[in-house]
Amino acid sequence: MRLILAILLTLSLGIPAISMAQSSPTEFPAATADQQARFAAWRDGFRTRALGNGVPAALFDSAFRGRGFNTEVAYRDANQAEFRRAIWDYLDRAVSDTRITNGRRLARRNARTLRAIESRFPVDSQVVMSIWGMESNYGAVRGDIPVVEALGTLATQGRRRSWAERELMNVFRILGNGDVAPRNLTGSWAGAMGHTQFMPSSYLAYARDLSGDGRRDVWGNNPADALASAANYLAENGFQRGAPIVHEVLLPAGFDFALVDGETRNSAGFWAGLGVRRAEGALYSGAPFALWAPAGGRGPVFAIYPNFQVIKRYNNADSYALAVGLLADRINGAGPLLAAWPRDERPLSAAEIVEIQTILARLGYAPGTADGLMGPNTRNAIRGFQSAKGLLSDGEPTVALLALLRQEAG
């Protein structure tokens, strides 16, 4: 899974933020002599530690043969984002018409595999397909960077050395098990591997051999093992087959937006009593759910169910879980959202969020640390200010809100 989020800066909704340079380089320079020397010095020290922990010297040397400092990995690690990505921009790509069409087509092509997965794991096949689409565009983008080189470069950089070295120790276990040859052990710049982008630690814990060839192959052209592994991960984390991840809902006029916080869970009967309706069909009554408006009061509102939290164990971003749920439903035949996104809104920069937090604190609304991140304290502070001004209390930071706060601050 793309546990890259554990090492990426994320803002607001957990949407991986966009780099200021949307067009990152497609070609990267060769490593400098200094970079290669730092990589070699780290590798030699790590070799001593790894061999001391039982890694055979021949296995270590084979894994690192021909590997060195990777400038693409260093670039992508260093270039974190400064601006929030609008959730509708993220979903436009994550749940595009092309991805929906391809998901339906590939679900038909892999119907036998999906039936086998559903017979073994309590996970819906369309959810497995959705994760496959989200993680690697159905296997089209599995990553071609040697995992040893990616993790070695991150360790050389120093900021995540302990984490990268732990994952490399897991890589040695994978190679020692014979699941993959060193030359085929490739993945993303952060070391996530295969069709469903497992980190080495998650691979060891959850990978399964569905094809029956004795290897847990998440890298090859046959996606069966990777899809079964993703299903096993979800099952082990409590996914309930037949239960939804998200549903779009419609709110009555004058609804109390203080209840739309993504956390307050109530029964379908409770919400129905307040006038909440599902956009398509009836409200799901199998589990309590919360209401969430990721773009505030001007955008769609969603019921989020316990399976939403399970998806976040795969990738800890609200936007990712929403995209998985929406894509799964579209693959399964559901229609598009009924409510429109507020596409005229400009997402605020981290600096602008800091300014909002600073002014709110000055006005006595306790937003917490002025760090540019939209946590619950900041949202509650915005709600308090909005309520005091007679505005819709959706807790959403907007250009208009910032202008009003500046006016209040004098």
What is the residue range of 218's domain? 3-236
Reduce the DSSP state of residue 1 to 3 states and report it: coil
Provide the domain count of the chain: 2
For residue 303, the 8-state DSSP code is E
Note whether residue 326 is domain-resident. no
CB-based contacts of 154-161 (< 8 A; 24+ apart in sequence): 154/7, 154/73, 154/77, 154/190, 154/191, 155/42, 155/46, 156/35, 156/38, 156/39, 156/42, 156/69, 157/74, 157/77, 157/78, 159/77, 160/7, 161/42
Q: Quick check: pTM over 0.85?
A: yes
Distance CA 322, CA 325 (A): 5
Same domain, 65 and 191: yes
Query: Which of 153, 132, 137 lies closest to 198, judged by CA?
Result: 132
Q: What is the dihedral of CA 312, 111, 181, 5, to 10 degrees?
A: -10
Domain end position, chosen among 236, 255, 283: 236
What's the pLDDT score for residue 85? 82
Domain end position, chosen among 236, 269, 290: 236
For residue 27, the 8-state DSSP code is S
- Beta bridge partners, 10, equal 16
The tokens describing 328, both together, are 């799964």
Distance CA 332, CA 243 (A): 13
Same domain, 226 and 86: yes
Same domain, 93 and 224: yes
Residue 318 CA: distances (Å) to CA of 13, 221, 287, 325: 6, 30, 19, 11
8 A C-beta contact, residue 145 and residue 186: yes
What's the pLDDT score for residue 21? 32
Same domain, 229 and 358: no
Note whether residue 314 is domain-resident. no
CATH number, domain containing residue 403? 1.10.101
- Beta bridge partners, 146, equal 186
The tokens describing 200, both together, are 């080495």
Same domain, 358 and 229: no
Same domain, 206 and 355: no
Q: DSSP readout, 151-217? A: HHHHHHHSTTHHHHHHHHHHHHHHHHHTSS-GGG-EE-TTS-BTTTTB-HHHHHHH----SSSSS--
Domain end position, chosen among 189, 219, 236: 236
Note whether residue 18 is domain-resident. yes
- Beta bridge partners, 3, equal none
Note whether residue 219 is domain-resident. yes
Q: Please give the chain's pLDDT, 410 residues, in tens.
A: 544 433 333 334 444 432 223 345 678 999 999 999 999 999 999 999 999 999 999 999 999 999 999 999 999 998 855 456 899 999 999 999 999 999 999 999 999 999 999 999 999 999 999 999 999 999 999 999 999 999 999 999 998 999 999 999 999 999 999 999 999 999 999 999 999 999 999 999 999 999 999 999 999 999 999 999 999 999 999 999 999 999 999 999 999 999 999 999 999 999 999 999 999 999 999 999 999 999 999 999 999 999 999 999 999 999 999 999 999 999 999 999 999 999 999 999 999 999 999 999 999 999 999 999 998 999 999 999 999 999 999 999 999 999 999 999 98
8 A C-beta contact, residue 282 and residue 206: no
Note whether residue 281 is domain-resident. no
Note whether residue 228 is domain-resident. yes
Same domain, 26 and 151: yes
Note whether residue 73 is domain-resident. yes
Distance CA 306, CA 239 (A): 8
Note whether residue 280 is domain-resident. no
Instruction: Give the orientation angle of helix 306-314 with respect to helix 318-331, to 10 degrees.
Output: 110
